[in-house]
Amino acid sequence: MGKSSYKRLSGGQNLRLRLVLATLSSTPVLIEDIHPNDMFPGLRFHEVSFLRLLEKICDDCAVEINETGTKLKFKPGIVMGGRNLVHDCGLTRSIGYFLEPLIVLGLFAKKPLSIKLKGITNDSKDPSVDTFRSTTFPMLKRFGVPSEGLELKIENRGSAPQGGGEVHLAIPVVQSLTAVKWTDEGMVKRIRGVTFSTRVSSQFENTMVYAARGIFNSFLPDVHIFTDHRAGVHAGNSPGYGISLVAETTSGCCLSADTAISYAREEETAGLEDEKKELMPPEDVGVQIASVLLGEIEQGGVVDSTHQGLLFLLCALCPQDVSKVRVGKLSPYGIETLRHIKDFLGVKFVITADPTTGTVMLKCVGCGLKNLSRKQC
Amino acid sequence: LAKRTFSRQTTNLMQLVYGKSSLPSSIGIEEHDSSADEESDGDDFFKPKGDGIKKHRVDVGNWNVEDSSKFTNYSNVKDWNDKKLIEDLRDRFVTGDWSEAAK
């Protein structure tokens, strides 16, 4: 297979998703026109960092980038996994950006993956590490991922812009996932959450908890929001605070909402940020995120809008069996994911709107992905 | 009628997500739609193109969107101190009416 045909794509959007799908389906990709009109054209720092990470966990994976970085040639290899890996995620995006694809790839690795990621643990752009622990992992278990070996430990927290956080991620390997019929969203039975603060007074956390509780109190009494105040080396290099909430339902679904507040990083790509100069006071943060979570609950579905993409991806990677899931309104990223899944894996979902509840039902037959690399050993 | 609107919604969603590729399945629907709407057969001819343009536009719009799965709808944050809103959502919680939620 010396001469392999490259799948041609253009545009720099959804790079992570494309590379993950390319790796899982062993499709070499050639991506052109990556951010060609930016002030600094080509791949962004975090995207290059993600490519380096891929090289780290894969064997025989070839990455070619042209001089300006607007063209990328990617030949996927075999996901190896391995222990005691370390990756510096940089400071342009938080660790959440890297965790999402890493989790999916780790499941189909040859050996269990155990990696230390350094960078920003919480920011407002990506799901926070707390959300991964509270929401994403329970979701993985639905798909037959064993809970032994699935771990995310937050050693140090780091806020933008200077980061300094450190998490330890362990992902077990699976032979294949199991298809799900996951349509019962149940009723919310409790709300959990965790706040964090780095290099600011722990009083910030209490204010956030108090404000968020105030919103939930008219619904149910079982609300526990923990605080995680970090100081010293565990607090990273920048001040920041934030909150991650999760609503658990009677049928075991988890809906999450999170955010983090910290000073804006200096973007090397201009014109993308509309960061506020003033930080949002903790009370408003609590109220806002509690309201967002209630919005997610109101919308219905077995996962929140943030996890739709991952849910669809996992469904598509299941054995050749019917998966059926219910979500609320389709999120833009979820739609993008559906399109890419069809392009790479040839899995097309049957999407039906459920007018009585305002939710969307999705059905698909998985592509039957097996962990081939594991069989050989 | 309810069934028909239901099926139309289905194709619309499929079309929205997958663009014109879902056309074969949509043609069947359009045929029995045409009695209700004043869509002549000639309109079928134009539909795919319009769809293509729309999809293209969406792509252009997405060109520089941040690659992030996180979707927080800040624009739609409601004031949850409103009694009416609280009552509307009450049945999604275990503290609400169970029989109501089971429907």
Residue type present at position A183 = T
A188-265+279-299: CATH number: 3.30.360.20
Q: Strand A58-59 and strand A350-354: pairing? A: unpaired
- The minimal CB distance from A257 to the residues B16, B63, B72 is found for B72
For tokens 């390997």, name the residue: A173
Helix, coil or strand: residue A35: coil
Alpha-carbon gap, residue B91 to A26, rounded angstroms: 46
Output the tens digit of pLDDT for each of chain A's 377 residues.
445 689 999 888 889 999 999 999 999 999 998 888 888 888 989 999 999 999 999 988 999 999 988 999 999 989 998 999 999 999 989 999 999 999 999 999 999 999 999 999 998 888 999 999 999 999 999 999 999 999 999 999 999 888 899 999 999 999 889 999 999 988 999 999 999 999 999 999 999 999 999 999 888 899 999 999 998 889 999 999 999 999 999 999 999 999 888 887 655 444 444 444 578 899 999 998 999 999 899 888 999 999 999 999 999 999 999 999 999 888 888 999 999 999 999 999 999 888 888 899 999 999 988 887 665 44
| Mutate which: A351, A352, A361, vs B, most B CBs within 10 A | A351
Q: In sequence order, what are the residues at sequence separation of 6 or more whose Cβ sits closer than 8 angstroms to the Cβ of residue A216?
A: A191, A223, A290
Residue type present at position A195 = T
CA distance B78 to chain A (A): 7
Residue of A nearest to B71 (CA): A306
| Whether residue B35 has pLDDT greater than 50 | no
- The minimal CB distance from A288 to the residues B17, B64, B77 is found for B77
Interface confidence, given as ipTM, is 0.71
CA distance B47 to chain A (A): 20
| Partners of A244 in the β-ladder | A194, A258
| Mutate which: A20, A120, A294, A297, vs B, most B CBs within 10 A | A294
> Sign of the C-alpha dihedral, residues B50, B53, B55, B61?
negative
Alpha-carbon gap, residue A322 to A320, rounded angstroms: 7
Whether residues A333 and B17 touch (CB distance < 8 A) is answered with: no
Residues of B in contact with A310 (CB under 8 A): 69
| Residues of chain B numbered 28-67 and touching chain A (CB < 8 Å) | 59, 62-67
**Vertex A187: Cα angle to A186 and A188 (nearest 5):** 125
Helix, coil or strand: residue B58: helix
CA distance A105 to chain B (A): 16
Alpha-carbon gap, residue A124 to A226, rounded angstroms: 19
Residue of A nearest to B60 (CA): A11
Alpha-carbon gap, residue A200 to A229, rounded angstroms: 9
Residues of B in contact with A18 (CB under 8 A): none
Whether residues A220 and B68 touch (CB distance < 8 A) is answered with: no
Residues of A in contact with B17 (CB under 8 A): 330, 335, 338-339, 349, 351
Whether residues B10 and A13 touch (CB distance < 8 A) is answered with: no
Percentages helix, strand, coil for chain B, rounded to the nearest 5? Answer: 70, 0, 30
Whether residues A330 and B13 touch (CB distance < 8 A) is answered with: yes
Residues of A in contact with B101 (CB under 8 A): 187
Residues of B in contact with A125 (CB under 8 A): 66, 68, 70
Residues of A in contact with B79 (CB under 8 A): 291
Listed by start position, the domains of chain A span: 1-78, 188-265+279-299, 304-373
Residue of B nearest to A41 (CA): B64
Listed by start position, the domains of chain B span: 2-62
DSSP conformation class of A230: E
pLDDT at B20: 62
Residues of B in contact with A309 (CB under 8 A): 69
Q: Give residue B43's pLDDT band: very low, low, confident or very high (50, 70, 90).
A: very low
